[in-house]
Chains A and B, each alone.
Chain A
């Protein structure tokens, strides 16, 4: 069952047997079911009444949809507030981070500086620092700044960009220098060149970096867990943990509805922009 390009491209054009093809399709279906089955089960169960959730044997398709589970979740915890917090952290955080990453990448590509290479190594080196090593010191820094339970506390420590800066720099190095010179001669300063010339020419890469950054921030769990201790500052994933603990398995309908609320925005973004997401997350694999 190896790469069978030879089977189709080279001679003799041996057709894989019918049995083999059927087997491969069966495997493909199995893989699809294993991957998507739990997600289907989540969404369908989130719409079931409690007797149906607790029914044995399970019913694969809910008989009557109970949207009230979402209302239950909404009433059990301030999900609207969690949603706003998550959106602020993910959107504002991404906007700032991509801006600083863009400027940093631009500087490394188009501006001279003594010892630039070493500075770039310094930048890359930050990738070696595991998140768990920074938890306690960063919490202490944020506490000292009085930022516990605030948006700056949630956002600022995550703003440093290594990966995004790296990707943007790699991309900018492929841009034709003449265009930059032309912009300069037309009297554009570096800031103007960056936002009017380089940015439009880097659109796919900027989209990739932005979406991946946004999804990462939306899903982040441990930092919001640590840096918030009031209900109204929790983000969705952390709020979900507390909803689950509070409902202690008694009301699965509400818990699952809450879970759906956490994943649906990301799933929607993923299905729309999967090309960019997959490209961004798997960068660096080839070499």
Chain B
């Protein structure tokens, strides 16, 4: 049944029957109250879920971050900012922050660049580009646990693909995931493989929305390909770039599944980024206070980053 079936042909919406002033106002008030109640009834399930499982956790997490608790004892000791000062004085945590920065920068910068190049390629009139677009996007929808397992196999020093691929060009294969010098790069590679399709598809949509006339004018002026790219395409794409930057940073900070499967934060602490650290402290060391404090630090960092980026957007980014 389509909605238009409900409207008889050629009949305009009938007008409301005129009624006595007072009666209609009373009826109106009653209907208004009923509509308010209906609003509550319709919106409440979703809003209550968000209140209970998104907002309340922030408050409770903030409270836990001021306590010392092993998640078993009945009482929680209040330690004020103790967990925060502990964390910031802990060399392991500082390593974690630094690792997180490397990890996020590697994935976001690499992903944006490679994604943009892929989008520029896919924007050419080439046969089969739609099929390639689908293939490139596919890894993005796959379970990180499965992707991590697959790449462990590919990176396996004995049976994997690294050795056979590197041997012909005379390079020795590193033990990617068990060598602390390589493990973080290995993770970055896997996340790049998984995420580039998303960046490429968003950029491609942006490219296809660009006004043709500007390019025609530029071509008449004799602007070369490089000039058109840097003077027209990239500036016009800056809102897309901004969107991708924000979403990539936020999601990369919370990357977890591939890490859990491939390295578990190791070897040593070489791939322990903030998201792993929070899980490790909370659900393996049962140190609720430290885990919550680390989670609050992540929360604040992401909020600040969004705020800074929003300011940047207001001032610098070109709007169409």
Interface residues of A (CB under 8 A from B): 1-10, 21, 24-25, 27-28, 31-32, 34-36, 38-39, 41-42, 45, 53-54, 56-58, 100-101, 103-104, 106-108, 111-114, 116, 119, 122-123, 125-126, 128-141, 156-162, 165, 178-179, 181-183, 185-186, 188, 190, 196-198, 200-201, 215, 218-219, 221-222, 225-226, 236-238, 240-241, 244, 249, 252, 255-256, 258-259, 262-263, 266-267, 270-271, 274, 277-278, 281-282, 284-287
Q: Report chain A residues within 8 Å CB of B207.
A: 3
Instruction: Tell whether, in the assembled complex, residue A103 and residue B225 are in contact, meaning their CB atoms are under 8 Å apart.
Output: no
Q: Which residue of chain A has the shortest Cβ distance to B292 in the bound complex?
A: A136
Q: Would you call B282 and A136 a contact (CB within 8 A)?
A: yes
Chain B positions within 8 Å of A125 at CB level: 55
Known: A103-B45, A225-B260, A256-B153; 11 extra A-B contacts, CB below 8 A, are A2-B229, A3-B207, A39-B139, A53-B159, A123-B47, A133-B61, A165-B46, A197-B3, A200-B1, A238-B145, A284-B243
User: CB < 8 Å: which of A24, A107, A156, A244 contacts B124?
Assistant: A24
* List of B residues within 8 angstroms of A131 by Cβ: 254
Verify if B285 is at the interface (C-beta below 8 Å from A). Answer: no
Task: For the complex formed, measure the closest distance between the CB of B41 and the CB atoms of chain A, giving whole angstroms.
Answer: 8
Q: Mark B193-237, 1 if CB is under 8 A from A, else 0.
A: 100011001100111011010011011100001101100010000
In the bound complex, CA of A125 to CA of B299 (Å): 13
Contact A252 B153 (CB under 8 A): yes
**What are the residues of chain A within 8 A of B279 when measuring CB–CB?**
132, 135, 222
Which residue of chain B is the closest to A197 with respect to CB atoms? B3
When distances are taken between beta carbons in the complex, the residues of chain A under 8 Å from B152 are 244
What distance in Å separates the Cβ of B35 from its nearest Cβ neighbour in chain A?
5
Is B50's CB under 8 angstroms from A162's CB? yes
For B46, B149, B163, B216, the residue with the greatest tally of chain A CB atoms inside 10 Å of its CB is B46
A159 and B54 alpha carbons, distance in the complex (Å): 11
Q: Is the CB of B146 within 8 A of A38?
A: no
Please tell me which one of the listed residues B32, B143, B228, B295 contacts residue A266 in the complex, with CB atoms under 8 A apart.
Answer: B143
Separation of A74 and B14 alpha carbons in the complex (Å): 64
- In the complex formed, the residue of A with least CB distance to B203 is A285
User: Could you tell me which residues of chain B, from 254 to 288, have a CB within 8 Å of some CB in chain A?
Assistant: 254, 256-257, 260-261, 274-275, 278-279, 282-283, 288
Nearest B-chain residue to A260, judged by Cβ: B146
Sorting the interface of chain B by its residue count into under 10, 10 to 19, 20 to 34 or 35 or more gives: 35 or more
Q: Name B225's contact: one of A1, A8, A25, A133 (CB within 8 Å).
A: A1
Chain A residues whose C-beta falls within 8 Å of the C-beta of B134 in the assembled complex? 271, 274
Binds A, one of B80-88, B101-109, B115-123: B115-123
A267 and B46 in contact, given A45-B153, A157-B53, A178-B13 (Cβ under 8 angstroms): no
Which of B19-27, B91-99, B125-133, B179-187 faces chain A?
A: B125-133
Chain B residues with Cβ below 8 Å from A10 are 215-216, 219-220
Q: Which residues of A contact B135 (CB under 8 A)?
A: 32, 35-36
Q: Are A200 and B243 in contact (CB under 8 A)?
A: no
Say yes or no: A270 contacts B4, CB within 8 Å. no
B138 touches A39 (CB 8 A): yes
Q: Is B132 a contact of A134 with CB atoms below 8 Å?
A: no
Contact of B139 with A244 in the complex, beta carbons under 8 Å: no
CB within 8 Å for A126 and B50 given contacts A3-B120, A36-B135, A58-B161: yes
Tally the A-B contacts, defined by beta carbons under 8 Å. 337
Evaluate whether A106 and B42 lie within 8 angstroms (CB atoms) in the complex, with A8-B125, A259-B150 already known: yes
**Of all chain A residues, which has the CB nearest B42?**
A107
Tell me the residues in window 45-61 of chain B with beta carbons closer than 8 Å to chain A beta carbons: 45-47, 49-50, 52-58, 60-61
| Chain B window 151-188, contacts with chain A (Cβ cutoff 8 Å), 1 for yes, 0 for no | 11110101101011000000000000000000000000
- 16 pairs, A vs B, C-beta closer than 8 Å: A4-B125, A24-B121, A28-B132, A38-B150, A129-B299, A133-B295, A136-B292, A165-B46, A186-B6, A200-B1, A222-B256, A237-B143, A255-B149, A256-B149, A267-B138, A286-B209
Q: Which residue of B lies closest to A183 (CB)?
A: B6
Picked from B38, B219, B261, the residue with its CB within 8 Å of the CB of A190 is: B38
Question: With A and B bound together, what is the CA distance between A103 and B46 in angstroms?
Answer: 8
Across the interface, B132 reaches (CB within 8 A) one of A31, A158, A238, namely: A31
Contact in complex: A132, B275 (CB < 8 Å):
yes
A140 CB → nearest B CB, Å: 8
Asked whether B225 lies within 8 Å of A130 as measured between CB atoms, the reply is no
A135–B282 contact, CB under 8 A? yes
Q: What B residues does A285 contact at CB under 8 A?
A: 202, 205-206, 240, 243-244
A158 vs B193: C-alpha distance when bound (angstroms): 27
CB of B247, distance to nearest CB on chain A (Å): 8
With contact pairs A134-B53, A237-B143 given, residues A111 and B39 touching in the complex (Cβ less than 8 Å): yes
Whether B156 and A100, one on each chain, are in contact in the complex, defined by CB atoms closer than 8 angstroms, is: no
Q: Which residue of B lies closest to A285 (CB)?
A: B202
Q: Are B13 and A182 in contact (CB under 8 A)?
A: yes
**Contact between chains at B215 and A3 (CB < 8 Å):** yes
Is B113 an interface position by the 8 A CB rule? no
Q: Which residue of A lies closest to B36 (CB)?
A: A113
Cβ contacts B238-254/A at 8 Å (1 or 0 each): 01100110000010011
Per CB-CB distance, the 4 closest pairs between chain A and chain B, nearest first, are A107-B42, A237-B145, A160-B49, A137-B57
Q: Which residues of B contact A274 (CB under 8 A)?
A: 134, 137
Question: Which of B6, B36, B129, B299 has the most CB atoms of chain A within a 10 A radius of its CB?
Answer: B6
